[in-house]
A and B are shown apart, each in its own frame.
Chain A
Amino acid sequence: MDIQFERVSYTYQMNTPFSYQALKDINMEIKTGEFVAVVGHTGSGKSTLLQHINGLLLPTEGQVQVGNFRLSRDNKRQDLKKLREKVGVVFQYPEHQLFEETVERDISFGLKNFQVPAEETQARIASALEKVHLSDDVLQKSPFELSGGQMRRVAIAGVLAMNPEVLILDEPTAGLDPKGQHDIMNMFYDLHKTKNMTTILVTHQMNHALNYADHIFVLADGRVHMKGAPEQIFSQVESLEEANLDMPDILSLMNQINQKFGTDLCYKRQKPDELAKEIVEQLRENKPL
């Protein structure tokens, strides 16, 4: 499902003294099967933007096209349920939304709501669990006995069980330890690669945007401030500064090395050992005799 924002603006509490324009004239296009990162400082409009993709919010102006669904202010009354079946959203701290007595019932809650035939339920649950790397002995446990990381996986399994075509991830790694973050991001990346899942990652972590995304949209003050491939975006240090964003760790380090030693390191997704090699080679080359 291709996604297209055309001149989208959104104002909260329109026509009241509290009215606040969160999105301003947003144009963006996301193609089927892309992995896109939406980054921006707190309050830049990221969460408002993502709520437009499955119709939780309708644009005040402009329109959003998601596959065959056209979302705008004028056509409010349509069956959004079909859309929401296809666009799965993993909200921030999704484990806070667990409520059922067992993991199995929690994962099947969405399936029931969307009238997935009962005979399919078991297979869907099993495949969702497999995708999040949990074994089926958690099924009869209460979700609340699990560790934080496992609870988050259960909540994600609930979304994946719907077999969405588009997956929206709002800060999916917040509050996890570094290893947990790494595991969860790799899990989403695998899904994206193997199932050709369109993935939209909203994140503060520039490292994740750099490592996983094909395209990055930088939001600032409700507008699309920059868009492009990660290498392009992160080469524009000043423009990033304007959006109050930092460089990914590896790029800021490479820039500083270049400045101090007059080297010419450039980012090609190097692993630490490869980068170390380049640093040494360039330093030896540059060394005056």
Chain B
Amino acid sequence: MMTAIEFRDVYFRYNEDAPWVLKKFNLKIEENETVAIIGHNGSGKSTIAKLANGLLVPQAGDILVNGRKLTASNVWEIRQNIGMVFQNPENQFVGTTVRDDVAFGLENRGIPRKEMIERIHTSLTQVGMENYQNHEPHNLSGGQKQRVAIASVMATYPEILLLDEATSMLDPRGRKEILSTIHDLKEELEITMVMITHDLHEIILTDRVIVMNQGQIYKDTTVDHLFNDYQGLQSIGLSLPLTVELAIELERQYDYQFTTYPLDNEEFLEALWTSNLKE
């Protein structure tokens, strides 16, 4: 298996007087993995995304994408493999219609018109926005805007999709739309996905969870095991989903046993049902 993104002894700080955001930082993300990088504001998680596609340059160390070292001369080429969706849906539009917006990235890459039309159609279908081709982006809801932003990125056939807090500015419905879009993409395509987030509900979609704290990997684990060390997570400023909090209380006070901590209501009910029968 190929390594999609690799950080080797990376040092980064925003300026010379500032503390290191990343210090001797090492990370490997394998091809077709879905990884969540979580941590409180200022833990270094967004810096990782910006370094990975060359928006920031490390002071020391190497960053490799698909095994190739990222340098000033190949950054444009490598960026074609990494699609990035940012936090603010308002800042990501260039076109006057949804279709133009998706076309923008394709025109930049010199894709022939016929293929362009096909790709626009396919990528908008993937995010469930195929009926909005001629709509003006500013009339869309936040969730719809972010779905178009994802479509614009997917139309360029990236091998890696980086979502940098892509849901944090959306209302709850918008957030659900994006999560189901991401879920569908993961089902349909072979793609490496990195979700940078502070919303612990989002990690339910991922194979692997990396918890960042003070520029270091605090924990590199899976969703099922993440909450085994819930005290640790709380101590670095992460808050637990309600269902996890309840499960912990049930274990602590009433001898319930959860094999894994439930991340949503369905899992909680299921676990409660099972342990209730046993009692």
Interface residues in chain A, defined as those with a beta carbon under 8 Å from any beta carbon in chain B = 41-43, 147-149, 174-180, 182, 204-206, 244, 246, 249-250, 252-253, 256-257, 260-261, 272-273, 275-277, 279-280, 283, 287
Contacts and interface: CB of A to CB of B under 8 A. Distances in A.
Contacts of A279: 246, 250, 272
A276 B172 contact: no
18 contacts: A41-B173, A42-B141, A43-B141, A148-B41, A148-B42, A175-B168, A175-B169, A178-B198, A179-B238, A250-B242, A261-B272, A261-B276, A272-B249, A273-B249, A279-B246, A279-B250, A280-B254, A283-B276
B268 A253 contact: yes
Given A276-B249, A279-B250, A180 B171 contact: no
Given A43-B141, A256-B269, A276-B246, A179 B239 contact: yes
Nearest to B277: A287
A58 to B, nearest CB: 25
B242 A177 contact: no
Contacts of B169: 174-175
Contacts of A256: 265, 269
Interface of B: 40-42, 87, 141-142, 165, 168-169, 171-174, 198-200, 237-239, 241-243, 245-246, 248-250, 253-254, 265, 268-269, 272-273, 276, 279
Nearest to A273: B249
Contact of A260 (B237, B250, B273): B273
A279 B271 CA distance: 13
Nearest to A206: B172
Contacts of A244: 173
Contact of A180 (B40, B165, B248): B40
B276 to A, nearest CB: 6
A256 B279 CA distance: 21
Given A272-B246, A275-B246, A283-B276, A177 B40 contact: yes
A277 B253 CA distance: 8
Contacts of B268: 253
Nearest to A148: B41
B171 A204 contact: yes
Contacts of A206: 172
A203 to B, nearest CB: 10
B41 A176 contact: yes
Which are the 6 A-B pairs with shortest beta-carbon distances? A276-B249, A177-B198, A178-B239, A272-B245, A204-B171, A179-B237
A253 B265 contact: yes
A257 B250 contact: no
Given A175-B165, A246-B173, 4 more contacts: A177-B40, A206-B172, A253-B265, A275-B249
B198 A276 contact: no
B272 to A, nearest CB: 7
A95 to B, nearest CB: 12
A149 B41 contact: yes
Contacts of A177: 40-41, 198, 237-238
B232 to A, nearest CB: 14
Given A253-B265, A256-B269, A147 B239 contact: no
A179 B242 CA distance: 14
A272 B242 contact: yes
Contacts of A280: 250, 253-254
A180 B272 CA distance: 31
Q: Counting chain B CB atoms within 10 Å of each CB, which of A148, A246, A272, A287 scores highest? A: A272
Contacts of B41: 147-149, 176-177, 180
Contacts of B241: 249
Nearest to B234: A179
Contacts of A42: 141-142, 171, 173-174
Nearest to B241: A249
A275 B250 CA distance: 10
A244 B143 CA distance: 14
